[in-house]
Amino acid sequence: MATAERMRAPLEQPVEKGLKPGALGLVSTTVIATASVAPAYSIAATLVFVVGAVGLQAPAVTVLAFVPMLLTSIGYSELNKAGDGQVRPVMAGHP
């Protein structure tokens, strides 16, 4: 009975997820916050120019501009599923 219980025990200890406390300072946190807000801000800042240029077709243009971003994100998602979770840049001429 003791042998069967030992075999069921996990071989590896669970690893804690997340950052260590204090790993990010003020500058790092500011950079992450700016990078998170930048896409939404750029859309809001340029929306007036898009509407001015294409008029009532602005929603269609926005959807058409979203399609390549959607396909790119799906591609990266599939790469992450297929590999070890790390997406590496591919350089011409190198394996």
The b-or-e profile of 25-36 (16+ CB within 10 A means b, else e) is: eeeeeeeeeeee
Cα-Cα-Cα-Cα dihedral sign, residues 32, 35, 36, 41? positive
pTM of the shown model? 0.42
The 8-class DSSP code of residue 31 comes to H
Indicate the domain borders of the chain: 56-83
At 37-90, the pLDDT tens digits run 888 888 888 888 988 998 989 889 888 988 999 999 898 888 777 766 555 666
Which pLDDT tens digit goes with each residue over 4-43?
555 555 566 666 777 778 888 889 889 888 888 888 888 8
Q: How far is Cα of residue 51 from the mean position of the Cα atoms in its chain? A: 29
